Structure formats: structure tokens, C-alpha cells
């Protein structure tokens, strides 16, 4: 998920403990301080913005140094966006390129993870810890000049989110014992939310994009299917009405997405001048990571996430070139192999995939055996040149809620893997693995083309599984096709993919672990399921109950124990086999200023505050 604010105890507690995690470093020898000395290892302190009222307009004033106006910042993305509708963005590229245009009520402080205001000027939490009074900033405008008011907030939550238009992730996260919060408009600038019970993640959930009611209401009136087509990639940028720092200017498929600054934006600098500083932000569309690297080295883009294999080379290049390297620590993304456990029938009475394979994937011993067969150290050495750590936990390594015991993992042990398989009746003959009914074990492994790291991971894991006698048919396919298989058709055996995690709040993953969640990848319930054949697995029910309990607990230490348990269950059941956490090492041009990276906020926690100094 994407905040004078009166914070509940839980968020103050999180702010206090979040600094503890920065004592850890993953992926390199911490005893050799000079091993990667040229990298800028950073966790900058970012002063919170202030509320400033000028001519009855409630601005948010950045406390970062004053910069220069003008210029263009150029980044890149692997592949095209699929939509510019933030509530229909199912992939990282579409989410980034659509959400940049819409602000939410709250945001996360990139230094300590606290929830701080954005469109909201302040939020009062009443003594019952269930009632939230949200006071909007006065005088803010959409890009068409109309004022942003409580009507827009009420519409976004009541209709778009609560009524289930578009992506259901936000709705899933806000479900509290099966109930959604009550929302009420108090006046033009005030909204009241009442949650069924005290709900720890609620303030953070208020970061969801607010949409302009006067633009979107006629769309939602036409139904959900029509809403899903709105603001697709063929949209005329002139017709977009947005609130974020940037608005769409141009999209050319396969080439670039161009944004221009929003002159109505409400962030100002310490001289009370409106931001953003830069005039344009261009995202160049590249086909793969190799092309991305070439674009950076030719000067065509300003920032690059450096592949581990290239870090030593870039350490030398930065000495004579116009960029610096920044180390942001372990990735907050979790990369994994996910099995398809769906053994239900669709409306035509047919199983989604071969029922024989489902008996394998439903077998805990089978899944665990494959987990013990994966050589994670080999992946880390060959793909990331050692600049990564093995990942065994559903939480990323820098999560405040990391279960340290689970994170230690177990290494590779093919003998133990075979013993687990034999427990379930599998046997090996002439180097080929068979199940107890004599079926040869063979399945398809997919990932997305263009991501060279995942493609190399697929090749390596294919070889690891083949050591057990399993025939693996490995393919890298177009990303949109891959997402469709996972989210819509449930037509896959197993897939290598990654999810973005929120290191401050495990409940952001509720839609992954809720059996009916939109990202419950390993046992996805599709709209075409035959309801009478639905069945919740025992460990699915346990995870669901844990997440319900964790969201209602306001004490951090008690929440930590609850979420420790969910990680333990996932590690034991292995519906998703976690692989690695690479170091996030970025190269960025020296001309790009106001760069204060943090492990929570990343490299660009506020695009509106960077500036170009040639």
C-alpha cells in the first residue's frame, strides 16, 4: 500500500523500533568494512514536511535543501504499462506509472516508517481507537482546476474501494473480521472513518490513491467492466485529471512515457515556491535488463539498478564518470517459486490443470523436498556475484517483523529431499522420478521474459529439480501473459515471480495470505470457480486467522509474535519457495540532486523534491 496528525500508539512504537533493523547488513562480509567501501551505504535522516497555510491554501512544505527549477529526469522500465488506472494496475510498471499521478491521504516517512500527512492535513484518532477524523487540506486543486474535497475521498472509498471496482488489494487490506470501515462525510473538508474494531494498519491503508469524483463517477455508473477499461494505454493525456506531482504528457508504446509537472501541486519548498523542481520525468521503455544497462552507460537514462555481476566494474567506472553508487541494503521484494495448488473445477466442471500434478503440488513433502533441492548459494554467486542473501522467509530481510529463526533457513540437502519424496511414495528409477502410481514427474516452470536475473534463476532451478529426477519444462514468457495466468486463469504449474513488500506493515500482504485475496497466488480462486468445489486448506485457514488477529493487535511486541507464527507456517508448508534477497545497488548521475536514500523510502521517496544541476 501505498498522514497535525495524532498517531495511535502502534505507529509511535513502530517509529521507535524501526531504527533497530538498520544495524544489520546482508549479502556481504560485514567484518571487512572496506570490501565495498566506494558504495555509499546510507540511511539518510529526512526531516518531516511542515504544514504551511498561504492565502487560505494548506500547503505541505518540504524541509530539504532548496534546488533549481527546470530540466528533465530520465528513468527506465522493463516493458510497457498496461493501464494508467491506479485501481487496475496488476504489475509493478503500471502501478508506478499510474500511482505517481494520484496522491493519498497519508504517506510513509522514509526515515522511520511513521505515517505522516499528505492530502490530509491532520488526522484525529478518538479514544475508542476506532474513530478517525480526517481533515483535508483546504484549497487543493485537481489538474482541471476543480477543488479536491471530501466528496472525492468519500467517493473513492465508498464506491471504488468498498464496492470492489478494479484491483481488490486495498479492499482486502481494509477488511476487519469480514467487515469494512464505515465512512461518513462531515463537511466539505472532513471525513470520518469508523472501523469495526481497533485496527493497527488503518492509517497506513489511507495512502490509497484518491480519485476525482466528477471524472470517475460517470465511469463507475457504467459498471465494473467498463471501469476496468477506463484510462487504458490508449487514453488521451489531455483527458486525465489528477492530483499528483506529475501528469501524463505522452505515451509511445515500446519507447517512452513522458510526464510533466503539475502546476497545481501543493508541495512547496522553504521559499514557498511550488514544486516539483523538474519540468519533465521520462521513463524510457527497455526490453530487458541488458538494454537497460546499455542505456545508462550511453547516458540515455539517469539511474540504474546495478546487477550484482556488474558492481565491481561500476565501482571503477564511477571514479572517472558522472555517477555515484548507492547501497540501500537488502531488497524489499520477495522472489519465490509458487506452486499451483488449485484443485477446484471451473463452471464447465473441468480442473484447471492436470489432477495428477495437483496431487504432487498438494503434497507437503513434495513441496518441501523441492525447497531443500534449491541451491540458493549457487544462485547468489552466479547471478548476483555474491551480493545477495538466501531468502527463506515470507517477510523481507529488513522487515520490522522478520522471524529471525525462519530467516536462517536450511541450505541444500538432496538426500533429505529424496527421503521426503519417498515418504509420499515417490521413487527414482533410471534417474527419473515417479509418483506412487507410476506417473513420471514432469511439470512446467515459467517466469517473465526480459528480466535476465529471473531467467537465469529459472535455468538454475530447472537443473536443481532435475537432480531429483524431475523433468522441468522451463519457459520465459511475456509478463502480461504471466500475470494473466496467475490472477485470472489459474493456468500454470509453477512460476518464478516476485512481490513488493511493506517492511513496516505485514498486513499489506493480507491479500496474499487471505484464501480469497486477489494475490493468493498458490491457490487462487478465480471468478470461474465452481463454488461447490471450493475448499480451504488447513494451513490456509490458520494463516487467515493469524492475519485477522495480527491486524487487531495494537501492541508491537504482541504483533511481532503473531507474525512470527505466520512466517513459520509458510516455511513449514512451502506453498511458495523463497529464493534470495539481492542488495539494492543503484547508480545515479551526479547532476541529480536532493538524493537522500533510505532503506524504507528507497532512492526516490519524493520525485517532486529532486532537481537537476548540470
Domain that holds residue 87: 9-231+591-612
Average pLDDT over residues 167-179: 83
pTM of the model: 0.82
In a domain, 291, yes or no: no
Please say if the pLDDT value at position 498 is more than 60.
yes
- Verify that 573 and 596 share a domain, yes or no: no
In a domain, 252, yes or no: no
- Verify that 443 and 532 share a domain, yes or no: yes
Measured between alpha carbons, how far is residue 427 from residues 185, 416, 436, 437, 470 in Å?
64, 14, 7, 10, 11
- Verify that 36 and 128 share a domain, yes or no: yes
- Verify that 107 and 225 share a domain, yes or no: yes
Of the candidates 38, 24, 25, the residue with the CA atom closest to the CA atom of residue 587: 38
Please say if the pLDDT value at position 132 is more than 70.
yes
- Verify that 64 and 116 share a domain, yes or no: yes
Q: Where are the beta strands (DSSP E) in 65-181?
A: 72-78, 106-108, 115-117, 120-125, 131-136
In a domain, 124, yes or no: yes
Q: Which helix (H) or strand (E) holds 225?
A: helix 224-229
How far is Cα 339 from Cα 464, in angstroms, rounded to an integer? 16
Please say if the pLDDT value at position 390 is more than 90.
yes
Cβ proximity of 545 and 341 under 8 Å: no
In a domain, 170, yes or no: yes
Q: What is the pLDDT of residue 8?
A: 28
Please say if the pLDDT value at position 530 is more than 80.
no
- Verify that 606 and 520 share a domain, yes or no: no
Cβ proximity of 277 and 73 under 8 Å: no
In a domain, 257, yes or no: no
- Verify that 517 and 603 share a domain, yes or no: no
- Verify that 493 and 600 share a domain, yes or no: no
In a domain, 212, yes or no: yes
Give the pLDDT band (50/70/90) at residue 63: very high
- Verify that 430 and 467 share a domain, yes or no: yes
Please say if the pLDDT value at position 44 is more than 80.
no
Q: What is the pLDDT of residue 3?
A: 26
SS3 332: coil
Give the pLDDT band (50/70/90) at residue 110: confident
Strands 246-252 and 256-261: antiparallel
Strands 72-78 and 280-286: parallel
Amino acid at each position: 500500500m501505498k498522514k497535525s496528525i495524532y498517531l495511535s500508539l502502534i505507529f509511535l512504537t513502530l517509529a521507535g523500533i524501526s531504527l533497530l533493523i538498520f544495524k544489520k547488513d546482508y549479502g556481504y562480509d560485514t567484518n571487512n568494512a572496506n570490501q565495498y567501501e566506494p558504495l555509499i551505504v546510507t540511511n539518510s535522516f529526512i526531516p518531516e514536511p511542515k504544514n504551511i497555510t498561504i492565502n487560505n491554501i494548506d500547503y505541505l512544505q518540504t524541509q530539504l535543501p532548496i534546488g533549481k527549477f527546470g530540466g528533465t529526469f530520465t528513468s527506465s522500465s522493463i516493458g510497457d504499462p498496461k493501464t494508467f488506472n491506479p485501481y487496475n494496475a496488476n504489475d509493478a510498471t503500471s502501478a508506478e506509472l499510474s500511482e505517481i499521478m494520484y496522491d493519498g491521504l497519508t504517506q510513509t516517512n522514509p526515515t522511520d516508517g511513521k505515517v505522516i500527512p499528505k492530502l490530509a492535513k491532520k488526522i484525529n484518532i478518538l479514544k475508542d481507537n476506532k474513530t478517525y477524523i480526517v481533515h483535508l487540506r483546504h484549497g487543493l486543486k485537481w489538474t482541471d482546476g476543480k477543488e479536491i474535497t471530501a466528496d472525492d475521498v468519500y467517493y473513492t472509498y465508498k464506491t471504488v474501494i468498498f464496492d470492489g471496482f478494479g484491483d481488490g488489494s486495498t479492499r482486502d487490506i481494509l477488511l476487519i473480521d469480514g467487515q469494512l470501515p464505515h465512512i461518513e462525510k462531515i463537511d466539505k473538508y472532513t471525513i470520518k472513518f469508523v472501523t469495526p474494531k481497533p485496527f493497527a494498519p488503518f492509517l497506513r491503508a489511507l495512502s490509497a490513491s484518491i480519485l476525482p469524483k466528477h471524472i470517475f463517477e460517470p465511469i463507475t455508473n457504467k459498471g465494473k467492466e467498463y471501469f476496468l477499461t477506463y484510462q487504458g494505454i490508449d487514453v488521451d493525456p489531455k483527458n486525465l485529471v489528477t492530483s499528483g506531482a506529475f501528469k501524463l504528457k505522452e505515451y509511445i508504446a515500446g519507447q517512452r512515457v513522458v510526464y510533466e509537472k503539475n502546476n497545481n501541486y501543493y508541495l512547496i519548498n522553504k521559499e514557498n515556491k511550488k514544486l516539483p523542481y523538474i519540468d519533465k520525468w521520462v521513463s524510457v521503455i527497455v526490453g530487458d535488463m541488458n538494454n537497460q544497462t546499455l542505456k545508462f552507460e550511453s547516458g540515455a537514462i539517469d539511474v540504474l539498478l546495478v546487477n550484482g555481476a556488474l558492481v565491481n566494474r561500476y565501482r571503477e567506472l564511477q571514479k572517472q564518470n558522472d555517477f555515484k553508487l548507492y547501497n540501500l541494503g537488502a531488497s524489499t521484494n520477495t522472489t519465490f517459486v509458487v506452486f499451483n495448488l488449485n484443485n477446484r473445477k471451473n463452471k464447465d466442471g473441468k480442473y484447471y490443470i492436470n489432477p495428477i500434478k495437483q496431487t504432487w503440488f498438494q503434497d507437503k513433502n513434495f513441496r518441501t523436498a523441492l525447497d531443500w533441492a534449491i541451491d540458493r548459494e549457487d544462485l547468489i554467486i552466479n547471478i548476483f556475484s555474491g551480493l545477495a542473501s538466501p531468502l527463506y522467509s515470507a517477510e523481507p530481510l529488513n522487515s520490522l517483523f522478520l522471524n529471525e529463526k525462519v530467516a536462517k533457513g536450511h541450505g541444500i540437502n538432496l538426500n533429505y529431499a529424496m527421503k521426503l519424496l519417498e515418504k509420499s511414495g515417490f521413487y527414482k528409477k533410471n534417474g527419473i522420478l515417479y509418483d506412487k502410481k507410476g506417473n513420471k514427474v514432469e511439470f512446467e516452470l515459467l517466469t517473465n521474459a526480459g528480466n535476465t536475473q529471473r531467467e537465469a534463476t529459472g535455468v538454475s532451478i530447472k537443473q536443481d529439480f532435475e537432480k531429483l529426477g524431475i523433468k522441468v519444462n522451463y519457459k520465459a514468457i511475456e509478463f502480461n501473459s504471466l500475470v494473466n495466468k496467475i490472477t485470472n486463469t489459474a493456468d500454470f504449474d509453477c512460476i518464478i515471480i516476485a512481490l513488493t513488500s511493506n517492511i513496516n506493515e505485514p498486513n499489506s500482504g493480507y491479500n496474499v495470505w487471505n484464501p480469497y485475496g486477489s494475490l493468493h497466488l498458490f491457490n487462487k480462486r478465480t471468478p470461474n470457480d465452481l463454488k461447490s468445489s471450493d475448499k480451504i486448506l488447513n494451513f490456509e485457514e490458520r494463516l487467515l486467522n493469524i492475519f485477522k488477529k495480527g491486524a487487531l493487535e495494537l501492541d508491537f511486541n504482541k504483533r511481532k509474535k503473531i507474525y512470527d507464527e505466520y512466517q513459520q507456517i509458510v516455511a513449514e508448508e512451502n506453498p511458495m519457495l523463497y529464493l534470495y534477497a539481492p542488495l539494492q545497488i543503484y547508480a545515479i548521475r551526479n547532476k541529480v540532486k536532493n538524493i537522500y536514500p533510505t532503506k524504507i523510502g528507497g532512492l526516490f521517496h519524493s520525485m517532486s523534491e529532486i532537481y537537476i544541476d548540470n
